[in-house]
Structure 1
Amino acid sequence: MTEHNNAFTGSHAIVVENLSKSFGDLKAVDDISFSVPTGSTTALLGGNGAGKTTTLSMLLGILYPSSGAIRVLGRDMMQNRYAALSRMNFASPFTDLPRRLTVRENLTVYGRLYSVRKLTDRIKELADHFEFSDFLDRRYGKISAGQQARVALAKALLNRPHVLLLDEPTASLDPDMGDKIRSYIEKYRKEEKATILLASHNMPEVERLCDNVLMMRQGKIVDTGAPQLLIERYGLQNMEDVFLKVARDSDGMKGNVKAVMGLIKEDGGKAVKRKR
């Protein structure tokens, strides 16, 4: 993989059409369609088992869809995913790096996989930003969960990705470090014109970082819109209340599910209906 500096110029960095994934009789993702505008941050929300992780795994090429299409940075992820993967990255505090390697060794290995230029300087820069310079030479398996989360995010930023997929990036962090990480993510998106897809259960984080929200339930996208739009639509006070209503109140969701069943894609938070 090679580090890229040329920005993607298309209007939507991620385009998903009629995507499904089944595991035997279980339909983990059920015919979802959405797009993420280039340079924006979109939240992928839902309770446990909603299909978020499966969707992220298909976007990364880890899982093949049962049906549907994915384009990232203009590349068909079924036919030519390696051309896009070199310009993408992923972070999750729930995905381990090699535990016997030191933090520095881990970052060096991944940096070389991405052919990162001036890798030593890049590692130092990220270690300074995320405050782990003092344990760069400690084994990854010997540092705390919060420290591992910071290292995982640094790993995901080594190649200055144009598309960044984040799964609960601040879940293991204390409030102070979580705030610093969110500030860095905001700064990175603006400076690099990066596109971010964020799976999170931290609703204040979603309100702060995200331009658009995709609400998933039982493998389907059941509602979508900007955070403030969703708050107003449900007549609630914040995104946490919206999240709980979607997760708990199946009757309250029936009208919204019916409304979005005719959608074929999500365009900047505005639903585009199927032509008849």
Structure 2
Amino acid sequence: MERVVQVEGLRKVFDAGVVAVDGISFHISRGEIVGLLGPNGAGKTTTLHILLGLITPTSGSVRIFGTDPFSRQRGSILERINFTSPYVSLPYSLTLRENLRVFAGLYNIRDAEEKIDELLNMFGLSDIGDEPVRRLSSGQITRLGLAKALLNEPELLFLDEPTASLDPLMAERTRRLLIDINRSRGMTILYTSHNMKEMEELCHRIIFLNKGRIIAEGSPQEILERYGEEELERLFLRIAEEGER
């Protein structure tokens, strides 16, 4: 199966010698939903930002669709991926529709207005499409970010805690939507979350990071059996507590 993401010996050392990512290697095959899991400071966000080409690694290699995201060919990657995070702000003075129109233009989306209407409806935002973003709740902003991330129907989707500020009903709808999109379109998804049950429900594989290193990799069930636990949440707490000692 085609490897959409290939990471070899990835290492990132920030100023003052802080090692955020410490020589990790992994791959993601086409059509997989892979969860990047770990306590705060484990290296999840740094790894995600390197894959997106936002920060350069100290050493190691990254290939997205076989291409180096730091090369001159990175444009061929950008049109095939998308990303959302509740920690990335959209222009507050623009309305929801205006925000989506800007990104639709960047991605050269055909029939942009039709696509925007479809996504606003999908995430329950149709009634407030002409409201400025500054008036939205955190949950509504998260939903807008998800709508933006699906505009170009990406082959590879990076999701950083996509349901963190959603109410339980919308979070469940979002999980069902992601599963449906993955199955119907074969969309590959790299997913970070602190919601353990969500990880178990969504992910084909989990990459468990701690202190910048991969300490476990496999299906949720394989990892639980390896550590002798019944729930990912128990395992997460156990590893986080051990890391503080």
In the alignment, the residues of structure 2 paired with residue 220 and residue 210 of structure 1 have an alpha-carbon distance, to the nearest angstrom, of 20
| Residue type at the aligned position of 1:143 | L
State the Cα distance separating 1:85 from its structure 2 match.
1.1
TM alignment of 1:39-54, pairs within 5 A: 39-54=31-46
Q: Which amino acid aligns with 1:224?
A: E
Could you tell which deviates more after superposition, 71-80 or 89-98? 71-80
Q: Would you say how many aligned residue pairs link Structure 1 and Structure 2? A: 243
CA distance in 1, matches of 2:178, 2:95: 25
Cα distance, 1:78 vs structure 2: 2.4
Pairing 1:55–2:14 present = no
Query: Is the CA contact (8 Å cut-off) linking 1:69 and 1:78 kept in structure 2?
Result: no
1:121 alignment partner, SS class: helix
Asked whether 1:12 is paired with 2:12, we answer no
Which stretches in structure 2 are left out of the alignment for 5+ residues? none
Matched, 1:169 2:162: yes
1:250 Cα deviation (Å)? 4.3
Aligned-partner residue type, residue 63 of structure 1: I
1:233 deviates by 1.4
1:159 to 143, 152, 161: 152
**SS of aligned partner of 1:76:** coil
Structure 1 residue 251: Cα displacement:
10
Cα distance, 1:192 vs. partner?
A: 1.4
Provide the residue aligned with 2:20 in structure 1: 28
Letter in 1 for 2:32: S
**SS across alignment from 1:99:** coil
Partner Cα separation in structure 1 for residue 70 and residue 8 of structure 2: 13
**Per-residue displacement from partner, 1:130-170 (whole Å, max 9, x unpaired)?**
10001111111110000000000000000000000000000
Distance between the aligned counterparts of 1:52 and 1:78, measured in 2? 19
C-alpha distance in structure 2 between counterparts of 1:165 and 1:177, whole Å: 19
CA deviation after TM superposition for structure 1 residue 27, in Å = 1.0
Give the equivalent residue in structure 2 for 1:207.
200
Taking only aligned residues, the RMSD between alpha carbons, in angstroms, comes to 1.3
Counterpart residue type for residue 221 of structure 1: I
SS at match of 1:245: helix
CA 1:147–1:246 in 2, change beyond 3 Å: closer, same or farther? same
Normalising by structure 1, we get a TM-score of 0.86
TM-score in terms of structure 2 length: 0.96
For residues 99 and 144 of structure 2, the distance between their equivalents in structure 1, rounded to whole angstroms, comes to 9
Task: Provide the residue aligned with 2:107 in structure 1.
Answer: 114
